Amino acid sequence: MAKPIRLALVGAGRVADVHLQAISRFPSRAVLCGFAEIREEARLARSKQWNVPGFDSVEALLASCSPDALLLLLPHHARLEAIRRCIAAQKPILLEKPLALSVEEGERIVAEVRQSGARLLVGHNGLYHPDFLRTHEIIEFGWIGKITSVRAESAGWLGFRPWDFRKRVSETGGGVWMDTGSHLIYSLMALVGQIEAIQCLTGKLARSEMEGEDHALLNLRFSSGALGQIFASYGHKQPGYLSDWPEGYALSIQVTGTLGSVKYELCPRGGVTLFSEHPEAPAGASKGWSSLAEPAPFSSSFERQMGHFLDVVEGLSEPAVSADNAMAVLRILRAAYTAEAAAYCSI
């Protein structure tokens, strides 16, 4: 029997927990061997919690643990240097979204990954969720006809720790849009196609502790001609807003076409519902919203992504989301800020 893949984390913040839960689903294939975290308090606490050694740098982690692959769970501004360390050590990488802080840094990452031939998978985990895949199938079946419009939202009241990088523009590159917008962009591009035009408005309306925007509203036009709208917020209050994810969040996508509409919801309830006038659509879908399946848990997207990453590490698969794929999303993320400036100038 082959030895489990030795995985190490770089960064021990809140997202580390969902990745560790995913690793735990593959006990015969993967094991956590160590992690790196610059905050001493967090490093000591996590080392005790996870029962693995913690280090204050990527270099120390690589030298002491000899991991087979690494998960980079870092603030946006710290990714380029960490990726370079992993490439030099010839280690496969799972990188949390977005690809980088800026287009310039993203282009450097793409160039260095190409030149080195490094195996890098970018964490667009939403693409692996069973309900997202079901939504994609419905659109491909033609049950909603030609797509005419789409609406997406990711809105809640994010709980910030005192040290949270999301509060600082220098570490995120912006605010809520830079931190969460990529999930909506890559999902819509997978469902609807390429985006050819955007308009953007942002605001600091509710979260004084954030340097960047806490609200963002975007209008989109896809290359097919379909129109879209995205709403993102870290200052959005609704029932349960002080609860942990997912009770207080609204996270959903609705795609509408000439024959109906499909809703994909992750929070707060989850699931896929369909209204369709297509003759081959499921029974009852033409009379109102029809639920197609029991909702899958949010964690399933990370579990399926982890299974794919282990395949990449073992050479069984090519990364489903490459640096080039993530670069296309990053360009749209950054272009939204330029589009906002242009909109204000034209008033």
Domain limits of the chain?
Answer: 5-125+302-322, 130-296
pLDDT digits (tens, 9 = 90+) for 61-71: 999 999 999 99
Which residues, 6+ apart, have CB-to-CB distance to 27 below 8 Å? 4
Residue 177's pLDDT is what? 97
What is the per-residue pLDDT across 18-60, written as a single tens digit (0 to 9) for each?
999 999 999 999 999 999 999 999 999 999 999 999 999 999 9
Question: Please, what is the Cα angle at 336 between 94 and 160, to 5 degrees?
Answer: 60
The predicted structure's pLDDT at residue 182: 96
Q: 123-155 burial, b for 16+ CB within 10 Å, e for fewer?
A: bbbbbbbbbbbbbbebbeeebbbebebbbbbbb
Q: Does the structure show a pLDDT above 70 at 313?
A: yes
- Residue 2 pLDDT: 80
H or E segment at 33? strand 30-36
Secondary structure tally for the chain: helices H, strands E:
10, 14
What gap in Å lies between CA 337 and CA 178, rounded to an integer?
Answer: 10
Query: What backbone phi and psi angles, to 5 degrees, belong to 94?
Result: -105, 115
pLDDT value at position 268?
Answer: 87
Give the Cα separation of 118 and 114 in Å (integer): 7
pLDDT for the residue 243? 83
For 72, the enclosing helix (H) or strand (E) is strand 69-72
> What is the distance of C-alpha 261 from the center of its chain?
24
Distance from chain centroid for Cα 198: 20
First to last CA, the chain: 67
Global pTM value: 0.95
- Is 111 strand, coil or helix? helix
On the question of a cis peptide bond just before residue 27, with omega within 30 degrees of 0, the verdict is no
Separation between Cα atoms, residue 98 and residue 76, nearest integer Å: 7
User: Looking at residue 294, what is its pLDDT?
Assistant: 83
Residues 305 and 128: beta-carbon distance below 8 Å: yes
pLDDT in tens, 174-233: 999 999 999 999 999 999 999 999 999 999 999 999 999 999 999 999 999 999 999 999
In the CATH scheme, what is the code of domain 5-125+302-322?
3.40.50.720
Which CATH superfamily does the domain covering 130-296 fall into? Dihydrodipicolinate Reductase; domain 2 (3.30.360.10)
pLDDT at 217: 97
Q: What are phi and psi of 42, to 5 degrees?
A: -65, -40
Q: Is the pLDDT assigned to residue 298 strictly greater than 80?
A: yes
For residue 235, the tally of other CB atoms under 10 A from its CB is: 21
- Confidence check: pLDDT of 347 > 70: no
Domain 5-125+302-322 identical in fold to domain 130-296: no
Q: What is the mean pLDDT of the chain?
A: 95
Question: How far is the C-alpha of 69 from the C-alpha of 7, rounded, in Å?
Answer: 5
Q: What percent of the chain has pLDDT over 70?
A: 97
Dihedral in degrees, nearest 10, Cα atoms 74, 109, 334, 164:
10
Query: What pLDDT band is residue 1 in, cutting at 50, 70 and 90?
Result: low
Residue-wise pLDDT for 245-293, tens only, equals 777 899 999 999 999 999 999 988 899 999 999 999 999 999 999 999 7
Cα 18 from chain centre = 12
Q: 57: helix, coil or strand?
A: coil
